[in-house]
Amino acid sequence: MAQLQAILKYQEIDAKLYKLERELAGCEERKEYVKYKKFLESAPEKLDALETKAASLKAEAAELTKNYEQMEETLQYFENVDELVTGGADISFYQKKAQTKIDQLKKFKADLAALVANIKATDAEYKKLKKQVIAAQGQYKDAAEKYKAVKSEKDGEMKAIEKELTVLAKDVPAEMMEKYQTKRKEKNMPVFIEINGTRCSWCGMEPPLAACNRLAGGEMIECDNCHKILYSK
């Protein structure tokens, strides 16, 4: 019973610390601070990706331009088709060849235009992101100062509670404290609650008969539904 009273006292005081932690975690100042922090942490990778994409597109455009120019040179060959026909060549053959080259040239031109548009869009996106990063750096600094101010307001009270908890923890068995801290990290608070008759006073689930018998014998059990630790006085 002494161990139960020790952990319940610890839980009662820790509830105050938990409440302050939740208030701090949910405050608007922290949300703004975290928002800009995450943005600035991910920005370098995004900028690198855009630079890589732009370089790849430019290389592709250069290769396509080269092919386009070569195709134009090939078409110059067909400027002398009249002489070839006069010499007895099959005009239909040269017409088909010329049309094929013209179609390829049109495709090169369309693909090149699409690439240029993509390069411009990527460049615009990069410049936009750079501006956002510069702006976010100032906003992050401001948000960090505001969050720091809010946090400092609670620090004194939180440290006083932590000091009290350190003293109380000495009376709690290590295994019981480990179980408590595990569930606290999972945000399953409160951890220990008294059973209400034959049902969990948190979720209303009735434990199995074997578990109820253990509970009646002075043991603690875990609710299968909400995973609170149930005790009976």
Specify the 3-state DSSP secondary structure of 229: strand
CB 204 within 8 A of CB 229: no
Rounded to a whole number of angstroms, the CA Rg of the chain reads 37
Q: Within 10 Å of residue 10's Cβ, how many Cβ atoms?
A: 23
Residue appearing with tokens 């932590």: 162
pLDDT at 63: 82
Do residues 223 and 230 make contact, with C-beta atoms less than 8 angstroms apart?
yes
Q: Give pLDDT, residue 50.
A: 93
What pLDDT, in 10s, does the model give residues 35-93?
999 999 999 999 999 999 999 988 888 887 787 677 666 656 555 555 544 544 455 65
pLDDT score at 74 = 65
Please give the pLDDT value at position 116. 84
Consecutive 10-residue averages of pLDDT for the chain (233 residues):
92 97 95 96 95 89 77 61 50 60 73 85 94 96 96 94 97 94 95 94 93 90 95 89
Structure tokens at 52: 């890589």
Do 215 and 199 contact (CB within 8 A), yes or no?
no
Residue 113's φ and ψ, nearest 5 degrees, are: -65, -40
Pick the CATH number of 2-190 from 2.40.30.10, 1.10.287.1490, 1.10.10.60, 3.10.290.10: 1.10.287.1490
pLDDT at 35: 96
